Every structure is written in C-alpha cells, then in structure tokens.
Amino acid sequence: MIDFRSDTVTKPTKEMRDIMYSAPVGDDVYGDDESVNNLENFASTRFNFEAALFCSSGTQANLLGLMAHCERGDEYICGQNAHNYKFEGGGAAVLGSIQPQPIENEQNGSINFNKIAAAIKPDDSHFAKTRLLSLENTIGGKVLSLEYLAQARDFVNEHNLALHLDGARAFNASVELEVDIKQITKHFDSVSICLSKGLGAPVGSLLLGSSSLVNKARRWRKVLGGGMRQAGMLAAAGQYALENNISRLKDDHANARYLA
Ligand SMILES: Cc1ncc(COP(=O)(O)O)c(C=O)c1O
C-alpha cells in the first residue's frame, strides 16, 4: 500500500534515527540545547538570514511570523487558498488579533498585484492597518516563478509592506527550478520552512528572518507553549534532513509526474 494522503506521512530513516539518538541536548528555553543551536545557526547561514527559530510545526512557524510582523488590529494579505488563511484554524485572528485579507489565487497560484493594491487599506481609523503580504511557494503543488517573486518584492517596497513566505515546500520549488533555495528566499522578510514533509524529519519547522523579528517570534513561541526543552533530538533530525534529503525531492516529483 502506498499512502498518498500527504508528504507529511514520511518517516525518519535509520540514519536519521541514529543521529537523533546521539544528539547532544540541553534546555532550549535557556538557550542550552546544542543541537537546536546548531540547527538554527546552520539554517540562518544556509538561507542567508540573520536568525532562525526552530518551531514545533509549520502552522506555528507561520503564526509566529504573522505575530512578529503584525500587531493587534493589523492585517495581512494572502491568497484565498493560502495554508495560513484556510488551513490553520484562523490562528492569526484567533491568537494574534490579526485580520486576514484573502484574495483569490490565479490559476498558477500567484495573486494579481492590481487586486492586492486595491485591497490595501487607506490610513483611516475605519480600517485595519495593512502590514504584510504573505505568499506560499509551492502552492497547491505549483511553483511561483522567480520573476513573480522579484515583482512581489518591488510591490511591497512600493507599498511599504513586509513580505512573508510560507515556504513549507520551498525546497520542492528550488529543486524543480534547479536554483539554490536562496534565489527563492532572498526576496522575503521572513520565511517558514517545514522539515517534516518531503524532507523526512518527524517534527519541526523553521522560521527565518532578521534578529529582531526572530527575537519577537521566540517570545511569542514561549507564550504559545512552544518553548520545547530538550528539543535537540528533533532539531538533529531537522539538520540531517537539510543536509541529506533535498536532492531526493526530484524522485518525489518524478513519481508524481508518473502517477499523473
Ligand atoms: C503550505 C503549508 N504550510 C504550512 C503547513 C503547516 O504545517 P504543519 O502541518 O507542520 O503545521 C502545511 C501543512 O501541510 C502546508 O501544506
């Protein structure tokens, strides 16, 4: 039986489990977990961001990204099909007092910039403050083009917004486009990356951003109950995944094409 429900049903390999077994650990809430620190340092270098935060899930990494960019009464613009709008229990509104402004995705997964511009609220006390544009790549299995990402950066600069990427499967996009992940992530102020999907780690996601954004997110992570203690066993699996399991995503893509 082949389980096609999701790439989240992947299981750690023996090599990954061996690494987890021997991972040095400490209390990460005190900053003492060597394996978590290694992963966060490794990731910030790998993705070329100032800082990285190990999170319990993609949902948590996205929520922390939104809460670090936005205050109570702010708004983020995203696609109608965005995971962090449609499939995360309304967390930004429920827990962050942040209003989503969803816009219908185009066939290719992008969001039309004219439609985004029309949805940005004027500076007027009737409205929430539009702070952030959130994109997703891949979205519904579709890869956003590098040209579109560059245009999104120009667009947010022009409109004084920040730009977040739900990059749960950003490595699928980079492997498909045959570019380094930095060519995708360089346009964004913050990025979430899932380690527990096609990359095969059992648990965990990363949030990447500036040091000040990640410090804010770290504080919210604790408030949300996401301060994990000896989390190094999980972080070591995540680092193993980043070091060993990227290029094999090609096999998943080939299998998906064959199945289609
Ligand atoms: C695009 C995208 N973002 C975020 C998530 C959330 O990840 P998690 O299941 O680890 O909370 C998912 C989960 O499938 C996803 O597909």
Domain regions of the chain by residue span: 7-259
Structure confidence by residue, pLDDT tens digits, 110-169 = 999 999 999 999 999 999 999 999 999 999 999 999 999 999 999 999 999 999 999 999
| Bridge partners (DSSP) listed for residue 136 | 166
The Å distance, Cα 58 to ligand 1 centre, comes to 5
C-alpha 210/C-alpha 225 separation (Å) is 22
**Ligand 1 proximity of 23 Cβ (cutoff 6 Å):** no
Ligand 1 atom 13, closest CA: 58
Ligand 1 atom 7, closest CA: 58
Confidence (pLDDT) at 226: 97
The residue type found at 76 is Y
Confidence (pLDDT) at 109: 98
**Ligand 1 proximity of 83 Cβ (cutoff 6 Å):** yes
The confidence band for 63, taking pLDDT boundaries of 50, 70 and 90, is very high
**Ligand 1 proximity of 164 Cβ (cutoff 6 Å):** no
> How large is the average pLDDT for residues 241-257?
97
**Ligand 1 proximity of 194 Cβ (cutoff 6 Å):** yes
The H or E element that residue 85 is part of is helix 83-86
**Ligand 1 proximity of 7 Cβ (cutoff 6 Å):** no
C-alpha 64/C-alpha 60 separation (Å) is 6
Structure confidence by residue, pLDDT tens digits, 216-234 = 999 999 999 999 999 999 9
Residue 129 in 3-state DSSP? strand
Size of the chain, expressed as the number of residues it contains: 260
Confidence (pLDDT) at 102: 98
Confidence (pLDDT) at 212: 98
Ligand 1 atom 6, closest CA: 58
**Ligand 1 proximity of 44 Cβ (cutoff 6 Å):** no
The confidence band for 179, taking pLDDT boundaries of 50, 70 and 90, is very high
175 in Cβ contact with 253 (< 8 Å): yes
The confidence band for 200, taking pLDDT boundaries of 50, 70 and 90, is very high
Q: What is the CATH code of the structural domain delimited by 7-259? A: 3.40.640.10
**Ligand 1 proximity of 137 Cβ (cutoff 6 Å):** no
**Ligand 1 proximity of 162 Cβ (cutoff 6 Å):** no
Query: Ligand 1 atom closest to Cα of 82?
Result: 1
Confidence (pLDDT) at 204: 98
